[in-house]
């Protein structure tokens, strides 16, 4: 892999260097971030949970239990299979190769140093972001939670709205 991979939440965006590429795991990013040149927010994100799963998640007080976690992983892997069906000549056969293709694409686009998958969830455990890290790790893709120190006198993303 050409990049280091992290997960984080939107409020940390202000502390992320401009040469890091940020990807919204699902379409809940603040409008301000959607216009940044190092931020991708895609309404049809292949990493996004379905509306039904989001509803279950919210009904469960925004905590992923084992059942919801398993459903999310199945959805992401199913999204990969759908992508694969529509891109039969890609040469990509599994989830890891899919991420490797993303990695190569980002290397061609610009000299991005790292990639950060982002959500609005603040907690780093029992969330979609946490489960996404588990899925990446299971596929032998190094990823960790980005722990940025709060900088004094800087507005966080929530304060911009």
Average pLDDT for residues 150-155, to the nearest whole number?
46
Domain-by-domain residue ranges, the chain?
4-146
- pLDDT of the residue at 153: 45
- 5 has pLDDT over 80: yes
Measure the N-to-C terminal CA separation of the chain; round to a whole number of Å: 36
The answer to whether the CB of 115 falls within 8 A of the CB of 5 is yes
Q: What is the mean pLDDT of the chain?
A: 84
**At CA 76, angle to CA 52 and CA 105, rounded to 5?**
135
List all residues 6 or more positions away from 109 whose beta carbon is below 8 Å from its beta carbon: none
Plot region of 20 (φ>0 → left; ψ -120 to 50 → alpha; else → beta)? beta
Percent pLDDT > 90 in the chain is 42
Which of 39 and 124 is assigned the larger pLDDT?
39
Residue range 105-116, pLDDT digits in tens: 888 878 889 999
């Amino acid at each position: 892999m050409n990049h280091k991979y992290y997960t984080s939440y939107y409020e940390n965006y202000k502390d992320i260097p401009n040469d890091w590429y940020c990807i919204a795991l699902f379409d809940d990013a603040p409008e301000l971030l959607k216009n940044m040149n190092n931020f991708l927010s895609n309404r049809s994100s292949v990493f996004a949970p379905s509306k039904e799963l989001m509803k279950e998640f919210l009904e469960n007080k925004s905590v992923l239990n084992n059942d919801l976690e398993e459903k999310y992983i199945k959805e992401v892997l199913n999204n990969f299979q759908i992508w694969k069906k529509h891109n039969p000549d890609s040469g990509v056969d599994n989830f890891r190769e899919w991420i490797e293709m993303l990695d190569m694409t980002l290397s061609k686009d610009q000299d991005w140093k790292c990639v950060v998958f982002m959500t609005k969830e603040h907690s780093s455990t029992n969330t979609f972001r946490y489960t996404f890290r588990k899925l990446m790790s299971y596929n032998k893709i190094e990823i960790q939670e980005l722990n940025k120190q709060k900088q004094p006198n800087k507005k966080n993303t929530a304060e911009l709205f």
